[in-house]
Amino acid sequence: MRRNVMAYVPALSFVLLLFFMWEAGTRVFHIPHYIIPKLSDVLISMWENGMLLKKHFVITLGEALLGLGISALFGSLAAVWIDSSSFANKTIYPLIVASQTIPIIALSPIMVMWFGYEIWSKVAVVILFTFFPIAVNTAAGFRSADPDIGELMQTMGASKRDLFFKWKFPSALPGFFTGLKMAAAISVGGATLGEWLGGENGLGMYTKRASNMLRGEAVFSGVLLLSAMGILLFLAVQWLESLSLAHRRSKKTI
Amino acid sequence: MSVVTRIEGQPIALSVHGLSFAYSEETPLFERLDFNIRQGEFVSILAASGIGKTTLFRLLAGLLAPQAGTIAIGAEGETAAAASKLGKIGYMPQKDCLMPWRTVLENATLGLEIGGTMKREARRQVLDLLPGLGLEGTENKYPHELSGGMRQRVSFLRSLLGGGELFLLDEPFSALDAMTRMSMQEWLLRIWEEHRKTILFITHDVDEALFLSDRVLVAAKSPISTLTELTINLSRPRSYEVTMDEAFIGLKRQLLGHIGRGAVDFEGGRT
């Protein structure tokens, strides 16, 4: 654990340095607050609007988590299907990959038409962003399962069930978590975009409204919080991963 | 279908009769191959790489179906596929094939788990055997924390617990360095003398075949239709000292004669 904390020290120091340069730069060069506000002003604005920001934070986080959860469930189910059926492997899988050439942002307004201005249109945009990395990486995880282990299990008389739960599933877990980490990082972006397209709540809406009013410090406080949310989600997935992949943890300690 | 169940009064562990096999569109690997293994015997099949050794094992383990002929396993003479379903075959592949996400203990219990043994009982069986295999205290380690030789021991233990009557070992030591290989060979002999299971061992190493086996079956040319047999009447228990004996050298000369030196290029034969 101590080792883990130590690993973050250089990056954190660098971030602090950047913050310092931000504060110093805006003061020395007299940069207008609607271009780059002073960090201290951003922090003050964050403090003053604490209750409001907390409410919006929770709403955006909820959208991102809900979308992530649904993507994780259906993304991994899709991967199981792609792996177990050569039909799905030949038809669905290329389609999922090809679907990435569709600009997701262009599709997002459709989600608003279908699901309205409530939370579900934002969740739908998050799913649009996060389904692909989870499905594709989990499918790659299934594919990486060592066929020799499968054959060995067959000589032991393994059933299909045994093969899935003792061989395929554990082999796919690292891929699933790779996908989930990527998805966690972009889920906040999806939720923000969903809020821009319409709605009353959330940090995305807050930053957009603040930017319309040229309130730089409010925009930046929203952006900082959204970044923090992305990092938090990513770290949460990493923590889950370390819990379920115990052998990887032991690898680090050698 | 005639199935031999005894040779010279000894029960048969494996009887292969008229076996033919070819991968589609390729030249056949086996043509009407016959051979028998008695129960409790240690037999090596010596052949050059690429001649179809691993295919033979896949046939014997029931992973492939023969195109002609029969493979009968055990006293009941079951087919390879049926015997492997019943957990009567212990297959140890060339790679250790350990699951990186399972500890030594969990890897070793795999076969028992699949066979339906209760978890606690499976663990007890493994823990009982670990010290004898030189694996004491490793039960909670992961495969990547072990040396190559130790991984092979775990793999062997898993096969030992996973299968009952016949053990198929496919060049299990070929990936190990020479020193480790030697100690693993001695280790295997010690375990075999203790448990007296039937072992069919594939190798391309002449010394290894001679040192370990009761009989060596030589496959000299492809497609394999006959195996030249050499009985190794060296006394047991054997230690590596035996490889320096006159008798051993004599057998080696005989064996190399069977192979037809030069016709097949053998890898890994130590002199």
Per-residue model confidence as pLDDT tens digits over A51-68: 999 999 999 999 999 999
Residue B270 pLDDT exceeds 60:
no
- Cβ distance B87 to A162 less than 8 Å, yes or no, reads no
Judging contacts by C-beta atoms under 8 Å, the chain B residues touching residue A249 are none
- For domain A35-253, is the CATH number 1.10.3720.10? yes
Q: Does B163 touch chain A (CB under 8 A)?
A: yes
pLDDT tops 80 at residue B76: no
Return the amino acid letter for A152: L
Q: Considering only the beta carbons, identify the residue of A155, A162, A246 that sits closest to B63.
A: A155
The pLDDT tens digits for B136-169 are 889 899 999 998 888 988 998 888 887 677 889 9
Q: Which one of A157, A247, A250 has the shortest CB-CB distance to B84?
A: A157
Q: Name the pLDDT band for A198 (thresholds 50, 70, 90).
A: confident
In angstroms, the CA B223 to CA B22 distance is 9
| Chain A residues within 8 A of B144 when measuring between CB atoms | 247, 250-251
Band of residue A186 on the pLDDT scale cut at 50, 70, 90:
very high
Q: Which of A149, A154, A155, A244 is most worth mutating to test chain B (most B CB atoms within 10 A of its CB)?
A: A155
Which of B 211-270 lie inside 8 A of A, CB atoms? Answer: none
When pLDDT is averaged across residues B257-261 and rounded to a whole number, the result is: 72
**CB-based burial of residue A15 (10 Å sphere; 0-12 exposed, 13-18 middle, 19+ buried)?**
exposed
Which residue does chain A place closest to B93, by CA atoms? A152
- Residue range A78-104: mean pLDDT, rounded: 87
**β-pair type (B10-21, B68-73):** antiparallel
Polymer length of chain B:
271
Considering A184-193, B166-175, B224-233, the range whose residues carry the highest mean pLDDT is A184-193
Strands B30-38 and B10-21: antiparallel
Enumerate the residues of chain B whose CB falls inside 8 A of the CB of residue A152: 91, 93, 97
Which one is predicted more confidently, A34 or B268? Answer: A34
pLDDT at position A204 over 60: yes
Contact B110 A156 (CB under 8 A): yes
Contact B97 A146 (CB under 8 A): yes
| Range of weakest confidence among B7-11, B36-40, B186-190 | B7-11
Q: Which residues of B touch A148 (CB under 8 A)?
A: 93, 95, 97
Residue A106 contacts B where some CB pair is shorter than 8 Å: no
What pLDDT score was predicted for residue B240? 82
For residue A155, the distance in angstroms to the closest alpha carbon of chain B comes to 5
Per the CB < 8 Å rule, is B97 touching A149? yes
Which pLDDT does position A130 carry in this prediction? Answer: 94
How buried is A44 (Cβ within 10 angstroms: 0-12 exposed, 13-18 middle, 19+ buried)? middle
Contact A162/B at CB under 8 A: yes
- Calculate the average pLDDT of chain B: 83
Higher local confidence (pLDDT), A185 or B133: A185
**CB of B215 within 8 A of CB of B232?**
yes
What residues in A contact B89, CB-CB < 8 Å? 155
Q: Answer yes or no: is pLDDT of A124 > 70.
A: yes
A151 interface with B at CB cutoff 8 Å = yes
Per-residue model confidence (pLDDT) at position B2: 47
Q: Report pLDDT for B7.
A: 61
* Residue A245 sits at the chain B interface (C-beta within 8 Å): yes
Contact (CB<8Å) A155/B91: yes
Q: How far is A163 from chain B (nearest CA, A)?
A: 10
B246 vs B75 pLDDT, higher one:
B246
Residue B42's pLDDT band (boundaries 50, 70, 90)? very high
Phi, psi of B33 (to 5 degrees): -85, 135
Whether the bond between A94 and the residue before it is cis, its omega within 30 degrees of 0, is no
- Here the tokens at position A244 are 């379920």
Residue in B closest to A168 by C-alpha: B99
What's the gap in Å between the CA of A86 and the closest CA on chain B? 21
Given an 8 Å threshold on Cβ–Cβ distance, is B115 in contact with A156?
A: yes
Q: With CB atoms and an 8 Å threshold, state whether A247 touches B144.
A: yes
Q: How many helices (H) and strands (E) does chain A have?
A: 12, 0
Give me the residue from A152, A157, A173 closest to B115, CB to CB.
Answer: A157
Q: Cα–chain-centroid distance for residue B149?
A: 16
